[in-house]
Amino acid sequence: MRSQILNRAALLASAGFLITQPAFAETAPAEPQQDRDYLGAEIVVVGQADGYSIEDGSSATKTPTPLINVPQTVSVITQDQLHDQGVTRLNDALRYVPGVSLETGEGHRDEVFIRGQETTADFYLDGLRDDAQYYRSLYNVERIEVLKGPNALIFGRGGGGGAINRVSKIADVGNPFAGISGSIDTFGAFDVAADINLPLGENVAGRINATYEEFGNHRDFYDGRFIGISPTLAFELGPDTRLVATYSYDDDSRVTDRGVPSFNGEPLRGFDETFFGDRDFNTASAKVHIARARLEHKFSDAVSVNVTGQFADYDKVYANVLPRSTDGTVVELSGYQDFTQRENYIGQANVVWTEDFGTIGHTFLAGVEVSAQDTDNGRFNVLFNGTDTRATVDLAEVIFVPPVSLSAIARERRSELTTTSAYIQEQLAIGDYVELIGGVRFDSFDLDTRDLVGANSFSRKDDVWSPRFGAIVKPMQNISAYASYATSFLPQSGDQFLTLSATDETLEPEKFETLEAGIKWAIRPDLLLSAAIFQLDRDNQTASDPLNPGVTVLTGSSRTKGVELQLAGRVTEALQVNLGYAYMDGEITSDTDSADAGTRLQQLPEHQITAWGRYALSDKVGLGAGVIYQSEQFTSFSNDVTLPGYVRVDVAAYYTVNDRVSLQLNVENLFDEGYYPSAHGDNNIQPAAPLNASVGVRITL
């Protein structure tokens, strides 16, 4: 392995591509604007952030709204912060967001808990759903936004704990730039990337982002690679009209690593590098195509519209042998191969009307969204020695896995989902001190599923109203105090909508309700302090009727209460920070099939601290440092296995050689802390990487 690392290092050095970041060229930041002057002609403001803070809160309202006027907690990771941390994958970036904890995603997908609510589907790209199960790269992403709490009015179904929105890099007319970048670390993982924006005519520009990555870590037999390419075109069709067309192709191939089992109520110790799988069989691949076009037009200074269409195609397959349990001497294994093919079609249109009537200003939003989703999913079970679905083998540093083959198809299902949605929202500014926001969304949700193995079909139709209300008091233009209420729903079919049962098709959707109150203080236009308290209730979870065994009823419920604090932006001319703290207390409040009332929610640490900062020692030299702290958490609703609390420290150093070249060193887990950041149930627990350093250079062409 060390020779491979040296060869790769030489290759990258000779090409001049060493760096810890992906594409890096930036457009000029927009001039800061205050209060209602911010509400300009653009319906969705997507300008780049300058540093670690942004003023743009448009993703939370679908209108040009400053973040200080959004009655909701929103955490943002800007491109500058991603660059400084050397982060190229979504799950790595989310480690620095308070209120978010990571699930291992079975070693093949992004999966998170937001305010105690687990999701594999609440992921969005420029406000449109991107809900298949795969790992997301950040090579073509401008920033990441985590909007906390139910968001049905803006995003539709799901989103009970929150929504994760990636804002894309798009072509910029009149601003040519080009850059290349790359990185290599002590495990041999490396990436190379390019970001090129060129004028293609007087009012046309094209931009292309591309990357190639190879993976590596401390785990035995782990490797993989990622290829991504994303071209965009921007057309200024007139002073009031713009068309943006984007396409991305992501090709991810990696080892499916399910981690280690538990023993005596905690992760199995002493086997952090051991691979509990078959090195030849455990593979995952995903090929993702997403094409989108957005047309924006301003009819007047008061009225604007946008129309967006998106097509996404997902082709995913993963195979794994995984640990089920261990007694400290032997380990039990099972496994399967699973495939998913999905096509998503989404169309969305919005109109925004902004007007002042004396001392009252209003911003009115009306929109519609239609979507169709077709999914094929199937699974084959693993057979050990051609006959057994489980195998018991000796626990060792290198696990012996009996010969693996596949059974006949164990399940195959197809689902067709269509949704039709309409929503309205009103934002009122009453004088200089009070702002109100209110709206409602109607979703008509129609799901048909077929079990091709069991030869049965089920369907359900839900018509759901989702309201949202908020009040903001502004004693000063740079300070807001707010209170809000919002809801969301999830039909009884899981967040991937793959199958239904006879019971599922009759039960009401799950419901999420949140109450939140908070304060936001724009200390300066580029420094925002926010604090919030919240209560999130989840109802209509399924449970067995205690009076009628075998009958499923809607008695399940849970509650999460918490506090979140965040400071993001430029503290001094030399110091930028993104600091966060979350306190969360969540439990099941009624007996369910999963657990009894009083059970603490899974993978919900009581305390989280996330802190990252960069300090400029001079124009050429800078230092960065970060801390992540999570208190202990349970791996599942069983509350039988605990992930111990941990502290991780990261550091970085930056050196600007000249106007075109900059160097960077990132060190993750500086003190070589042994910890377990995530799990998938009680016996798939992911050991964290030990100390790892990466080096790189950024080159402007």
Per-residue pLDDT tens digits for 590-599: 987 778 899 9
**Nearest C-alpha neighbor of 212 from the set 197, 227, 198:** 227
CA 12 – CA 184 distance, rounded (Å)? 8
Q: pLDDT tens-digit profile of 87-103?
A: 999 999 999 999 999 99
CA 576 – CA 643 distance, rounded (Å)? 32
What would the mean pLDDT of 210-223 be, rounded to a whole number? 97
What would the mean pLDDT of 341-360 be, rounded to a whole number? 97
Could you report how far apart the first and last alpha carbons of the chain are, in Å?
33
Q: pLDDT tens-digit profile of 34-55?
A: 343 333 333 333 334 469 999 9
CA 515 – CA 535 distance, rounded (Å)? 5
28-42, 241-255, 442-456, 457-471: lowest mean pLDDT where?
A: 28-42
**Nearest C-alpha neighbor of 102 from the set 530, 508, 684, 613:** 684
Do 60 and 50 form a contact (C-beta atoms < 8 A)? Answer: no
Does the pTM exceed 0.85? yes
What would the mean pLDDT of 189-207 be, rounded to a whole number? 97
What would the mean pLDDT of 660-686 be, rounded to a whole number? 97
CA 523 – CA 378 distance, rounded (Å)? 53
Question: Counting Cβ atoms within 10 Å, is residue 573 exposed (0-12), middle (13-18) or buried (19+)?
Answer: exposed
According to the model, what pLDDT value does residue 547 have? Answer: 55
Q: Is the dihedral of CA 106, 112, 117, 119 positive or negative?
A: negative
Q: Is the pLDDT of residue 178 over 70?
A: yes
**Starting from the edge strand earliest in sequence, which strands make up the sheet with 100-102, in order?**
100-102, 112-114, 117-119
Q: Is the pLDDT of residue 13 over 70?
A: no
Q: Is the pLDDT of residue 496 over 80?
A: yes
Q: Tokens representing 186?
A: 């002590």
Alpha carbon 209 to its chain centroid, in Å, reads 20
Residue 14: partners with Cβ closer than 8 Å, 6 or more residues away:
none
What would the mean pLDDT of 489-506 be, rounded to a whole number? 89
CA 200 – CA 194 distance, rounded (Å)? 18
What's 105's DSSP letter? G
How would DSSP label each residue in 224-286?
EEEEEEEEEEEEEEETTEEEEEEEEEEEEEEE----B-EETTEEPTT-TT---S-TTT-EEEE
**Starting from the edge strand earliest in sequence, which strands make up the sheet with 123-125, in order?**
74-78, 141-148, 162-168, 123-125, 128-129
How would DSSP label each residue in 464-513?
EEEEEEEEEEEEETTEEEEEEEEEEEE-TTTTTT----TTGGGSPPEEEE
Q: pLDDT tens-digit profile of 272-303?
A: 999 999 999 999 999 999 999 999 999 999 99
**Residue 2: which H helix or E strand, with range?**
helix 2-15
Q: Tokens representing 343?
A: 């096509």
Where helices occur in 77-176 by DSSP H, the ranges are 79-85, 90-94, 152-155
How would DSSP label each residue in 646-689?
EEEEEEEEEEE-SSSEEEEEEEESTT------EESSSS-EEPPP
Q: Is the pLDDT of residue 139 over 90?
A: yes
According to the model, what pLDDT value does residue 469 have? Answer: 98
Q: Is the pLDDT of residue 696 over 70?
A: yes
Domains along the sequence of the chain with CATH: 2-700 (2.40.170.20)
Q: Is the pLDDT of residue 211 over 50?
A: yes
Task: Tally the residues of the chain.
Answer: 701
The 3-class SS string of 165-200 reads: EEEECCCCCCCCEEEEEEEEECCCCEEEEEEEEEEE
